[in-house]
């Protein structure tokens, strides 16, 4: 597979003073400063069939002094190319040498918070994507900082930028055929960006990949928020279909995963459920784990275990030391062993979650009672 670099923008700029670095004092000014930036290979917003990324008409770069947002620049020339020129007006800065931050924050993605003159965080939601190349790049985020020189209302300099997200090209399959429906990836779905150049993702809440009218193939292009871990990361697919894929070193910024040929992900149909109109709104599966119909018993599991076995005895029980009175977990009586007063399964010990994935879980005692009543 061809390695595609997301080495970002090397840029010439016209910019006003941000964080002052010279010894002589800069003169603050509320006048409008003209800025022009020629941005080279980097945080660009169109993916070619080969995986290369180029600038797109309408792209915008946001500017900060590390403490507050100063304004934005718009692409003037270079759409479709690896290098483009951005221009715009920045207010509230004066002559001198400064360190400024430059951000590409995607386009038409509902980004909020980059308020000029304020130290506010920009927030971008990744929660709903349509799986197309263009839609993936709506959420493409990039950042770079550089020293610039401001003189007479004109600023110049150069910046090298870094891509702060990852993009994955997935090929979804079910029963050997292209999967053409909706699916949700269990990954972070919101990015927060500060004027100082820090990027932070939310906890894993899911990105739903759904296109009105469906798909003609199994190809999906998804923008992903990097993880803090570099350990092996297993990502679950939930919703109308279930499955998983693995990132060997977590999700790393500045990466295009499977861009040329795609990463094949095998999905299975989601398990059916029924709405019984219960006060809690809880939905129940139509059959047990391991069963093919409501009439089947399905698989047997010891409490707190997630795999079937041939011998169900105290000697083989995971949460004891070989006898009924040596319990090590899920025990409320001292005569039976160590007391932890756990009566609800942890998800890591839940046979339904382990075998079916998604948001499936074993019911609690109260939920069983609601069903009986």
Cβ-based neighbours of 84, under 8 Å, separated by 6 or more: 38, 39, 44, 55, 59, 75, 76, 77, 78
Distance CA 370, CA 23 (A): 73
Contact 106, 140 (CB under 8 A): yes
Q: Where are the alpha helices (DSSP H) in 248-348?
A: none
Residue ranges covered by each domain of the chain? 7-268, 271-373
Write down the mean pLDDT value for the chain: 83
Q: Which residue has the higher pLDDT, 12 or 272?
A: 272
* Residue among 199, 198, 195 at smallest CA distance from 99: 195
Dihedral of alpha carbons 333, 335, 336, 340, sign: positive
pLDDT in tens, 55-100: 788 888 899 999 999 999 988 888 887 777 888 988 767 788 888 8
Phi first, then psi: give them for residue 348, nearest 5 degrees: -70, -15
CA distance 109 to 75: 18
What strands, in cross-sheet order, belong to the sheet with 122-125? 122-125, 190-193, 199-201
Residue 11 pLDDT > 70: no
Of 18-22, 162-166, 235-239, 313-317, which has the strongest mean pLDDT?
313-317
Euclidean distance between CA atoms 308 and 105, whole angstroms: 49
106 close to 29: Cβ distance less than 8 angstroms = no
What are 17-38's pLDDT values in tens digits? 344 333 333 333 445 778 776 6
124 pLDDT exceeds 90?
yes
Question: pLDDT-based confidence at 358, cuts 50/70/90?
Answer: low
Provide the Cα torsion 21, 141, 127, 170; round to 10°: -150
- Supply the pLDDT for residue 133: 84
3-class DSSP assignment, residue 200: strand
pLDDT value of position 269: 78
In terms of phi and psi (left: phi > 0; alpha: psi -120 to 50; beta: otherwise), the region of 281 is left
Could you please report the per-residue DSSP string of 299-315?
Answer: ----TT--S--S--SGG
pLDDT score of 7 more than 50:
no
Q: What span, in angstroms and rounded, lies between the C-alpha atoms of 276 and 278?
A: 5
DSSP 101: E
CA distance 266 to 174: 6
Handedness of CA 70, 75, 78, 81 (dihedral sign): positive
pTM of this structure:
0.66
Closest CA to 93 of 141, 147, 33, 47: 33
Q: b/e for 314-342, b at 16 or more Cβ within 10 A?
A: eeebebbeeeeeebeebbeeeeebeeeee
């Amino acid at each position: 597979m061809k390695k595609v670099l997301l080495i970002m923008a090397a840029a010439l700029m016209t910019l006003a003073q941000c964080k002052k670095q010279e010894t002589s004092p800069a003169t603050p000014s509320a006048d409008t400063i003209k800025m022009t930036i020629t941005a080279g290979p980097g945080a660009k917003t169109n993916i070619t069939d080969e995986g290369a990324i180029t600038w797109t008409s309408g792209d915008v770069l946001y500017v900060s002094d590390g403490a507050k947002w100063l304004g934005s620049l718009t692409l003037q020339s270079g759409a479709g190319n690896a290098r483009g020129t951005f221009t715009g007006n920045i207010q509230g800065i004066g002559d001198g040498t400064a360190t400024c931050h430059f951000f590409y924050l995607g386009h038409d993605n509902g980004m909020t918070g980059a308020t000029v003159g304020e130290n506010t965080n920009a927030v971008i939601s990744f929660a709903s994507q349509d799986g197309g190349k263009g839609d993936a790049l709506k959420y493409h985020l990039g950042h770079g900082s550089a020293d610039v020189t401001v003189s007479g209302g004109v600023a110049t300099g150069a910046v090298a930028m870094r891509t702060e997200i990852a993009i994955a090209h997935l090929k979804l399959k079910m029963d050997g055929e292209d999967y053409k429906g909706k699916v949700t990836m269990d990954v972070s779905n919101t990015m927060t960006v500060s004027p100082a150049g820090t990027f932070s993702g939310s906890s894993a809440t899911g990105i739903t990949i759904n296109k009105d009218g469906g798909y003609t193939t199994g190809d999906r292009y998804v923008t992903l928020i990097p993880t803090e871990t570099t350990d092996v990361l297993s990502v679950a697919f939930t919703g109308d279909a279930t499955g998983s894929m693995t990132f060997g070193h977590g999700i790393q910024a500045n990466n295009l995963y499977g861009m040329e040929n795609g990463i094949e992900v095998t999905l299975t149909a989601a398990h059916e459920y029924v709405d019984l109109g219960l006060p809690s709104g809880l939905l129940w599966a139509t059959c047990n784990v391991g069963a093919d119909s409501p009439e089947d018993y399905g698989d047997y599991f010891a409490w707190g275990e997630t795999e079937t076995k041939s011998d169900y005895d105290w000697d083989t029980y995971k949460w004891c030391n070989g006898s009924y009175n040596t319990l090590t977990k899920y025990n409320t009586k001292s005569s039976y062993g160590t007391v932890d007063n756990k009566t609800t399964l942890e998800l890591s010990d839940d046979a339904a979650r382990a075998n079916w994935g998604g948001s499936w879980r074993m019911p609690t005692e109260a939920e069983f009672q609601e069903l009986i009543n």
